[in-house]
Structure 1
């Protein structure tokens, strides 16, 4: 199942990339998303960047069909591998679960600001209910990116 989202920021791409590169920003996003626990690592190499965010999320708000599948909490590992400040690859895995999300992230200048575009493909390999779980996963990702955007707008406005 596909996810496409565009997040607009009133800052140039270099500032948005710097924000996305900052472990403190990623930690603030995890806290805003009510992660039970989180661990953030970033590795800058030349113009590129690798970000790894491991979060444990409470599943209390999920429908029972999903909760039976994932348990009381679930771990997700987000890895973004940026070739430079314009974009890169995204992978989200859930250890021990037949779930895989892959795609891309890109930044582009737009009217003096920046648009961050995220395109993901979510796969849940579970017979009969995989499609329903994929929809729940995409919905959850949309909410997560909306919260990241909310934190990002505040961050770029200097409210950290």
Structure 2
């Protein structure tokens, strides 16, 4: 998925690596709890721990809980014109992960954010169904987060 944002890449990067802003975004989007930290060392590593609620059908509920703890680690590198990150989401205590590649590219006074998600589920027989659900929910959440970011940028020029 790709979105053009009406702000500089440096400004967007600053928000995407600001623990307080990320926690506020998560709570504003209805997550049950959110805790975030960022560590700078040759790049920036952002670690988020969130408790989320997701509606799911009975088949998926056999493996996942509607209320789950997730951990997300983003490792950012690059400079002001082009930054990249790896993304790893783990559902705590479940054989389910989502990985992604992220790019944030400067385009003058605006920037482009790109992300591609991949699911990994180690569950026999119904793993494909769970993977499709988890990646779909992750992408829905990503769309909500990007819409929140775009609206925030409009209101806070």
CA RMSD across the alignment: 1.8
Question: CA–CA distance in 1 between the matches of 2:135 and 2:25?
Answer: 18
**1:71 and 2:65 matched:** yes
The within-5 A match list for 1:104-143 is: 104-110=101-107, 112-143=109-140
**1:157 and 2:151 matched:** no
**1:31 and 2:27 matched:** yes
Q: How many residues align?
A: 154
Stretches of 4+ aligned residues off by more than 2 angstroms: 109-112
Question: CA–CA distance in 2 between the matches of 1:36 and 1:68?
Answer: 22
TM-score norm. by structure 2 comes to 0.89
Structure 2: unaligned runs, 5 residues or longer: none
2:56 match: secondary structure: coil
Distance apart, 1:67 and its partner CA: 1.8
TM-score norm. by structure 1 comes to 0.87
**1:55 and 2:39 matched:** no
2:77–2:84 CA contact under 8 A, matched in 1: yes
Structure 1: unaligned runs, 5 residues or longer: none
